[in-house]
Amino acid sequence: MAQSVAQSTTTPTTAPAKLPIGAIVPWAVFFGILMLVLLYFVGAEQGATSVMSGEDVHEWVHDARHLLGFPCH
C-alpha cells in the first residue's frame, strides 16, 4: 500500500510598506494646526481674545463648548 504525504505549503508573508517620515510630517503639521484653530474657536473665541466681532462664532460652537466642558455662560 502506498502512502502519500501531503506537503504543507506556506504562503510568503509580505512586510508592510514603510512610510518615510518625510511623508508623514507635513500631514501631521497640517492636522496639528487645524486642531489648534478648531480648539481656539471652540474654547476661546469670545471676549478679550475675540478675532471676529459679534456672537456668531459663539452660537455656532455653543453645543461643542458644553460637550467639551468649556464654560461659556
What is the value of pTM for the model shown? 0.58
Q: What does the alpha-carbon distance between residue 7 and residue 12 come to, in Å, rounded to a whole number?
A: 15
Burial of 42 (0-12, 13-18, 19+ CB in 10 A): buried
Quick one: what percent of the chain has pLDDT higher than 90? Answer: 19
> Residue 70 contacts by C-beta under 8 Å, 6 or more apart in sequence?
42, 43
Quick one: what percent of the chain has pLDDT higher than 70? Answer: 81
Lowest mean pLDDT among 19-23, 31-35, 36-40, 69-73: 69-73
Amino acid at position 59, single letter: E
Highest mean pLDDT among 5-14, 17-26, 27-36, 60-69: 27-36
> What would the pLDDT profile of 3-16 be if each residue is shown by its tens digit?
766 676 777 788 88
Alpha carbon distances (Å) from 15 to 2, 23, 26, 39: 40, 19, 25, 38
